[in-house]
Amino acid sequence: MTEFKCKALVVGGGPAGLATAGLLAQAGVDTVCLAPIAADDQRTVAIMEPSLRLLRSLGVWDDALQAACAPLEQLHIIDDTGDLITAPDLRFHAEEVGLKAFGWNVPLAVLLPALRARAIAMAARVLETNMASATLSEAHVTALTTSGEQIEAEFGVAADGRLSALRGLAGIKVDEWSYDQSALVTRFQHSRTHEYVSTEWHKRGGPFTTVPMAGNASALVWMDKPVVTAARAALPLEALAREIQLQNHGTLGLISDVAKPAVFAMRGVKSDVFAARRVYLVGEAAHVFPPVGAQGLNMSMRDAGHVLDVVLAHDDSGCAAAMQEYQSLRLPDVLPRQTAISFMNRSLLLNDLAPNLLRVAGLAAVSAVPMIRKLALREGLSPSGKLPFVMRSQQV
Ligand SMILES: Cc1cc2nc3c(=O)[nH]c(=O)nc-3n(C[C@H](O)[C@H](O)[C@H](O)COP(=O)(O)OP(=O)(O)OC[C@H]3O[C@@H](n4cnc5c(N)ncnc54)[C@H](O)[C@@H]3O)c2cc1C
């Protein structure tokens, strides 16, 4: 059996795990990352400016990656529920917050290999294998992999996704639920330019969001009841193109070259505890919610940045004080955001008057009251609390 001793053991090869491993290794922390190669993921993720700072600081945001991505200069929210009382259109410009772009839309298929390569270049030992089991003691986290390695670390990072086994071993209990919703994800070409505007159409079954990609192309995340989504996903691609064109009211012109769609079931995971027994939770191991307002991965990047800050501040990075510090940094960022997004999403699913009036009133307030508008913009980009150091340390 091969045995490794290290300071940090990161379990998970998604964006949260690879970013955390890269950051730790770059800071000189001896890191092993268990990162099985993921199946092709055709999702794109809107990465906002603070998270881009993290990618820049990691040396990942280079010309090659940028060429595959598109800037998000405007965000447009349209109430397309067809209800009697609808919210006003909301259009935000990045210039309002002194930026050229709120962020960039990045294909995961390009981001993941870039993060993996960077973590390896920073001397993290990235093993393409799964954690099979782990034991947690007073002083160590010890894991066995499915390919027979044993790794003993001072602390662990659970980046193993929604069903996180390491989270369970740390004794952290979470609330889990399913939404009566799934998301159809695809990309397509269009005859009109997107002008770098991301548009979220709020429909009765959930948001229909187009996000600019490089060239005259956009990504689509379209949420609806699972049976409706499944039927759409089974359509011939030409018929799906017509349906997309209808749903965005022709704003992108003629739709063509729709990629074979993928379907994601919508689930929620909520934790009140973000670290315990020498294990930090990051990414979907800590929080899962619907892709509304592009918050999931951006929050995961803040998890990664805060793990780094806490680890560097403590000689024993798995001690109770370090766990407590991480908890106090993550809880006020994650919980209010998760609650707001779940509410927004559920109000679209419910036909009840009260939650819908509240949603409409909220959006109207954001539209009409400059102070609320500014607050919404700021909170959409980053939390009012403390940003991790790597997200504070450089300008655009
Ligand atoms: C349709 C959709 C669109 C989205 N769009 C956006 C967006 O625009 N902006 C945004 O910020 N967020 C977005 N999100 C959310 C974002 O995609 C997630 O937050 C992010 O992908 C989660 O990354 P992760 O690394 O935590 O989890 P995952 O990507 O699930 O990675 C977990 C990894 O752990 C590995 N793993 C599991 N078990 C083990 C084990 N035992 N040993 C080793 N490895 C293990 C898995 O193989 C996997 O690679 C979207 C989500 C969806 C569903």
pTM strictly above 0.75: yes
Tens of pLDDT, residue by residue over 364-373, are: 666 666 666 6
Q: Which of 9-18, 42-51, 226-235, 322-331 has the lowest mean pLDDT?
A: 42-51
Tens of pLDDT, residue by residue over 198-256, are: 999 989 888 999 999 999 999 999 999 999 999 999 999 999 999 999 999 999 999 99
Atom of ligand 1 nearest to the CA of 15: 25
Q: How many angstroms does the Cα of residue 246 sit away from the middle of ligand 1?
A: 31
Q: What are phi and psi of 272, to 5 degrees?
A: -95, -10
Q: How many angstroms does the Cα of residue 62 sit away from the middle of ligand 1?
A: 22
Q: How far apart are CA 76 and CA 365, in angstroms?
A: 16
pLDDT for 86 equals: 75
Query: Sorting pLDDT into bands at 50, 70 and 90, what band is 380?
Result: low
88 vs 197, which has greater pLDDT?
A: 197
Position 261, amino acid: P
Residues 6+ away with beta carbon under 8 Å from 33: 9, 10, 11, 12, 13, 17, 18, 21, 119, 124, 125, 126, 127
In percent, the amount of the chain with pLDDT more than 70 equals: 89
Residue with tokens 């800050």: 309
Round the average pLDDT of the chain to a whole number and report it.
91
Pairing of strands 125-127, 31-34: parallel
396 pLDDT above the threshold of 50: no
155 vs 42, which has greater pLDDT?
A: 155
Q: How many angstroms does the Cα of residue 36 sit away from the middle of ligand 1?
A: 13
pLDDT for 205 equals: 85
The protein residue whose alpha carbon is closest to atom 44 in ligand 1 is 12
pLDDT for 351 equals: 63
Q: How many angstroms does the Cα of residue 12 sit away from the middle of ligand 1?
A: 9
pLDDT for 156 equals: 98
pLDDT for 162 equals: 96
317 pLDDT above the threshold of 70: yes
Question: Which residues form ligand 1's pocket by a CB distance below 6 Å?
Answer: 11-17, 34, 36, 38, 43, 45-46, 130-131, 159-161, 165, 183, 185, 221, 264, 283-284, 291, 294-298, 300
Q: How many angstroms does the Cα of residue 288 sit away from the middle of ligand 1?
A: 9
Q: How many angstroms does the Cα of residue 299 sit away from the middle of ligand 1?
A: 12
- Which of 293, 344, 68 has its CA nearest to residue 187? 68
Query: Sorting pLDDT into bands at 50, 70 and 90, what band is 395?
Result: very low
Query: Sorting pLDDT into bands at 50, 70 and 90, what band is 61?
Result: very high
Query: Sorting pLDDT into bands at 50, 70 and 90, what band is 384?
Result: low
70 pLDDT above the threshold of 90: yes
Q: Which of 34-38, 84-88, 216-220, 225-229 has the lowest mean pLDDT?
A: 84-88
- Which of 24, 284, 305 has its CA nearest to residue 153? 24
Atom of ligand 1 nearest to the CA of 162: 30
Rounded average pLDDT over 27-37? 97
The preferred substitution site among 10, 11, 32, 43 for testing ligand 1, maximizing ligand atoms within 8 Å of CB, is: 43
